Amino acid sequence: MNSENITLDEGQKWLREAIEALHSKNSGGSRTAALKAIEMGEDGAAVWGVLALACRDQGDFDMAQKAADRSIELEPRNVRAHIVKADAFYAESNVRAAAAFYRHALAMSAPQPGMPEELRFDLERAKIRSGELRDSFGAHLSLALGDLLSDQACTPRMQEALDLLLGNKRVFYSEPRHFMFPRLPSYDFFPSDQLPWLKQLGSKTSHITAELEALLKSGSAFLPYVEANSDRPTFDAHGMEGNADWGALYLWQNGEPVLENQEACPITTEAISSLPLVFSGRRCPNVLFSRLKAGASIPPHNGMINTRLIGHLPLVVPDRCGFRVGSEVREWVLGEPFLFDDTVEHEAWNKSDQDRVILIFEVWRPELTKIEKAFVTRMLEAVDTY
């Protein structure tokens, strides 16, 4: 055996000793053994990572930083080396740098039950400290911006911008599953004050609810909203296909009126007919009473086409029901309709012991011109006739 192999074996022996000492909480012995391994030619991410951890545990943050930098250079996704750097910056009161490295470590690997205990402990500690630093940063910004945020002229966008900066909210984008019309403004919930007809629709809530109750008493029933289609592959990742938890009772379905239901609901049909409904061949409009059973939920999903807005008119709304579009969560309020972009990820839940019922409808986005609507309609009709 030549001297190079002997040195390599000695280096690995010292590295093993450094690791064992670190596991035994002997940071001094671990540091000594790691330095000896490096002297013997070890130069991998592991030995520098062990040295960084040992130096951190000794409170030598300058050396811990240098060793962590070398370990990250050799293995850029070394999570514990990033936490060592965060700890060192935190000890030096460089809280912005500390927060950045804690966040980066957590983005690479969240705490998991089955991971090594030392790594999971460091990640749990990083998660707690990252939250504390975010709260501290938030308090600092609130102090700096408090007079503007409390001003009567403060807009919802200002508060949302602060929430995004602090990580209290995340950005969601329109992601249609079928067709994207470009350069439309991005909304989760559409501003209701821009559409005065929404309030007019809400004023008819009691009449619409009465018509629904009469329709159900006559024998009509909710059917599963998500139906199987043997002409297309199944993309039911959420178990909603054929699931009666989310039920539908249609007034229009895939562009066609459901005459018997419309005749039973004349006030509802007249009110909906006055809206800027989307008529696009065999696809739109879809107007329906939607039931979400007690205890049921609709998993996060995205809609098909971004040239429409989906409307909800709440009719029967128990407590503990909620609806999320993007990063905004709302509760349905009886008789208060709203519009949202369903191509932004959204979900719904009913944690009560009663069914929730709303009227769903779809209207054109108001930003579209007359010729753009004609273009979308003809294009979708052409797709359907292919």
What is the full per-residue pLDDT of the chain (386 aa) written as tens digits?
454 454 558 899 999 999 999 999 999 999 999 999 999 999 999 999 999 999 999 999 999 999 999 999 999 999 999 999 999 999 999 999 999 999 999 999 877 888 889 999 999 999 999 999 999 999 999 999 999 999 999 998 999 999 999 988 999 999 999 999 999 999 999 998 889 999 999 999 999 999 999 999 999 899 999 876 656 565 555 677 888 899 999 999 999 999 999 999 999 999 999 999 998 878 899 999 999 999 999 999 999 999 999 999 999 999 999 999 999 999 999 999 999 999 999 999 999 999 999 999 999 999 999 999 999 999 999 988 88
Residues 6+ apart with CB under 8 A from 175: 302, 343, 344, 345
Strand-pair category, 287-292 with 246-253 = antiparallel
Question: What SS3 state is found at 298?
Answer: strand
C-alpha span between 7 and 16 (Å, rounded): 14
Q: Look at residue 238 in the predicted model and tell me its pLDDT.
A: 66
Task: Kindly report the number of other CB atoms within 10 A of residue 331's CB atom.
Answer: 11
Q: Look at residue 126 in the predicted model and tell me its pLDDT.
A: 96
Which residue has 């010729």 as its token pair? 371
Q: Look at residue 7 in the predicted model and tell me its pLDDT.
A: 53
Cβ atoms of 109 and 123 within 8 Å: the answer is yes
Q: Domains for the chain: give ranges and CATH numbers.
A: 3-133 (1.25.40.10), 192-229+237-385 (2.60.120.330)
Burial letters for 81-114: b for 16+ Cβ neighbours within 10 Å, e otherwise? Answer: bbbbbbbbbbeeeebeebbbbbbbbbeebeeeee
Q: Look at residue 236 in the predicted model and tell me its pLDDT.
A: 55
Q: Look at residue 342 in the predicted model and tell me its pLDDT.
A: 97
Cβ atoms of 339 and 189 within 8 Å: the answer is yes
C-alpha span between 163 and 194 (Å, rounded): 25
Q: Look at residue 113 in the predicted model and tell me its pLDDT.
A: 80
